[in-house]
Structure 1
């Protein structure tokens, strides 16, 4: 019996590592492409380790230009575009999480008429495809002067993430026992004090998990940025679609930009890793 259980555990471990390798290998291959010369990218069989790494792709993307070889006379100076993505993702996440935290606490703790209908309405707004509102938003932004602006993209990304953030935060607040609020009320605490000093510290994990999802959705959003910006402002997903030279797609440069674009999201997840794990497991144990 002991031998059989060990064999099953070993088989499960091998299967788990196989699944991990299946999902990690494309990412690993993409990273190696970023450090290869153009002539080495399509070698058969592919070179996964036996090649000389180079930073030429990163230099062309963030430092040196290609002298206008891009279609449309552009260049690969992507430093400002990466900065645009960081600013938009960070501030839209802060705005969405702040509003969602207040709204979800009210939905979780306060009793008012049609509360459940309001939750259903919030969920229904997330079901609308973005393409259905992209063109109307373009004309609205044009009339109020928000085209090609940080504020315009930050607002639309925050609105896009708000329904999911509200529903996620509400589930986290629902998992915090209501008795804690009632005890604080008996001690004379106000509603705002209970929210700020009692409930909010207990929901840090949920806030971190919600912030990570909002950041990733904003970081990878394509349609609204493409529609609501024209020349002065572009994010990484939009500019990555323009990596076409006179000789074809610049795969090495595109991979270099992709690797650089993954770094801020990866660092953000690392910074909130402890709170993220706590938030993802919040409510998993019931009394």
Structure 2
């Protein structure tokens, strides 16, 4: 039995290593590029750990390319889209879960799986007609296409696992449906809301397509700003990798700090209650 458990554990760790290693290798190599001068980045055979770290790559990114402005734009777009998504998605998920609106849930899933370009073209024409192009408002609105379906889908699964006895007792005591949702369902659903919030932030923060089409020179977000560092004349791998890491750092820290809440929320939403 011990030998079998040991083999199962070894097999599990090997599978995890095979799945995770490409992502870890990519991150390590990007970190290596960001800390090397261009001579070392072009060296053959490749150099993983340089003798002298090129911290100037990070300083160049922070000092140029209006990094602070683009960071603030990303915070405003992602924060607004996530908060608005929670205001819409949490009550919608609760209603669909309690009404057992399976068909509506499938529609939400289809909306999440539909490519963003399908929404981008008609909304681009609408925003152009309204004269909103080049502002942050179109990006916030179109990012709701990302955040709302994610939040609704997660909250449907979570509310389906919460016990109905507490809500029924509140109704018997004379509480309205809104009071039941606000004072009973919401406190219980905090882990699910946390997971929905984190995933919405990650997907919205990393979005690139919407920003490059709708943003103006003053309203670009960080992924678009990193893309604009690529030029046909010269490609500097060090600053480019440093910029990419600085864009990834906020969501990486958020994920690491909230990993327990993510696991707890996803686990609670995966097991149906009685």
Residues 43-62 of structure 1, C-alpha deviation per residue, up to 9 Å, x if partnerless?
23322234321211111111
Residues 200/270 of structure 1: CA separation in 2 closer, same or farther (3 Å cut): farther
Q: Distance in 1 between matches of 2:103 and 2:176?
A: 27
Where does structure 1 differ by over 6 angstroms across 4 or more consecutive aligned residues?
A: none
Q: Distance in 2 between matches of 1:278 and 1:2?
A: 30
Residues 110/19 of structure 1: CA separation in 2 closer, same or farther (3 Å cut): closer
1:252 aligns with 2:241: no
Q: Distance in 2 between matches of 1:45 and 1:197?
A: 63
**SS of the residue aligned with 1:215?**
helix
Q: Distance in 1 between matches of 2:98 and 2:19?
A: 41
Residues 172/15 of structure 1: CA separation in 2 closer, same or farther (3 Å cut): closer
1:94 aligns with 2:77: no
- In the alignment, which residue of structure 2 is the partner of 1:237? 223
How many pairs does the alignment contain? 273
Q: Matches of residues 215-230 of structure 1 in structure 2 within 5 Å?
A: 215-230=201-216
Q: TM-score, normalised by structure 1?
A: 0.85
Q: Distance in 2 between matches of 1:122 and 1:283?
A: 17
Residues 225-256 of structure 1, C-alpha deviation per residue, up to 9 Å, x if partnerless?
12212322111222222223465212111111
Q: Distance in 1 between matches of 2:165 and 2:201?
A: 33
Runs (5+) with no aligned partner, structure 2: none
Residues 171/285 of structure 1: CA separation in 2 closer, same or farther (3 Å cut): closer
Q: Distance in 2 between matches of 1:94 and 1:39?
A: 45
- In the alignment, which residue of structure 1 is the partner of 2:254? 268
Q: Matches of residues 1-287 of structure 1 in structure 2 within 5 Å?
A: 1-3=1-3, 5-10=5-10, 12-17=12-17, 19-63=19-63, 65=64, 76-110=65-99, 115-245=101-231, 247-286=233-272
Residues 6/81 of structure 1: CA separation in 2 closer, same or farther (3 Å cut): same
Q: Distance in 1 between matches of 2:56 and 2:67?
A: 14
Q: TM-score, normalised by structure 2?
A: 0.88
Q: Distance in 2 between matches of 1:5 and 1:49?
A: 38
Residues 18/143 of structure 1: CA separation in 2 closer, same or farther (3 Å cut): closer
Q: Distance in 2 between matches of 1:61 and 1:84?
A: 16
- Structure 1 stretch displaced more, 14-23 or 147-156: 14-23
Q: Distance in 2 between matches of 1:138 and 1:13?
A: 47
Structure with higher helix content: 2
Task: Tell me by how many angstroms 1:207 deviates.
Answer: 1.1
Residues 141/285 of structure 1: CA separation in 2 closer, same or farther (3 Å cut): closer
Residues 54/170 of structure 1: CA separation in 2 closer, same or farther (3 Å cut): same
Task: Tell me by how many angstroms 1:11 deviates.
Answer: 5.0
Runs (5+) with no aligned partner, structure 1: 66-75
- Structure 1 stretch displaced more, 255-264 or 101-110: 101-110
Residues 138/16 of structure 1: CA separation in 2 closer, same or farther (3 Å cut): closer
Residues 29-80 of structure 1, C-alpha deviation per residue, up to 9 Å, x if partnerless?
10121111111113233222343212111111111x4xxxxxxxxxx33221
Q: RMSD between aligned alpha carbons?
A: 2.3
